Amino acid sequence: MAVITISRQFGAGGITLGKMVSESLGYTFADSDIIQRVAKEANVSTNWVESFEKEAGSKLSRMISSMVSKRWLDRVLADERGYLDEQIYLDYLVLIIAQFADEGDVVILGRGSQYILNDHPDAVHIMLVDEFENRVKFMMERYDMPRKKAERMVANEDRRRVNLFKRLGKSDFENPHLYHMVLNMGRLDLEAARDMVCKLVEKKAASLPI
């Protein structure tokens, strides 16, 4: 019933590695599934959640949240049409990541899961890092992306990640002490990284009391 969280610098291969690890271990890979559950709980569309995640912590999303009056929000919720702001999103995120952890045998991608499940006894926390240029090249090669677009996306996602963790009240997300294993993807291929993660998970599982 292990739980693996994969945190990463954008473009370090987190999605690819997460899928590889989940396939090797027969685990669920929780990425888009998290979006779907948040959308269901908040009674909004998955497109809204996806768009919201892209803007999480930005000036725009904070301004929108501050402009929404409680009276208007009460009407929306009473009509069961749903609504999402930063606090509601974070509340549901904590709840849903905890639910996935309770279900077990899951690889959870990002979204502060290393903090949310910091004290979970069955959790294994992994961090992927790499140089900016290597991450740009990864996006170009893996997703057939032009260089300028890849550079812009990596830079934007790095900023978004910092903003999201600020909203969680965290600033030490790259502190190696938060993780069981930090992988420098500039020095490892994906297959080697997958094998290292799987071996660590299997070793931890074997040490857990039955």
Tokens encoding 70: 């409680």
**Ranges 65-69, 117-121, 132-136: which has the least confidence:** 65-69
DSSP 8-state assignment for residue 82? -
Asked, for residue 129, whether it belongs to a domain, the answer is yes
Give domain status of residue 188, yes or no. Answer: yes
Provide the whole-model pTM. Answer: 0.80
What amino acid is encoded at 111 in this protein?
A: R
Q: Is residue 164 part of a domain?
A: yes
CATH number of the domain enclosing 170: 3.40.50.300
Number of domains within the chain: 1
Q: Tell me the per-residue pLDDT of 138-186, one tens digit each, with 9 for 90 and over.
A: 999 999 999 999 999 999 888 888 877 777 677 788 889 999 999 999 9
Residue at 210 is within a domain: no
Q: In sequence order, what are the beta bridge partners of 205?
A: none
The answer to whether 185 touches 171, Cβ cutoff 8 Å, is: no
pLDDT reading at 209 higher than 60: no
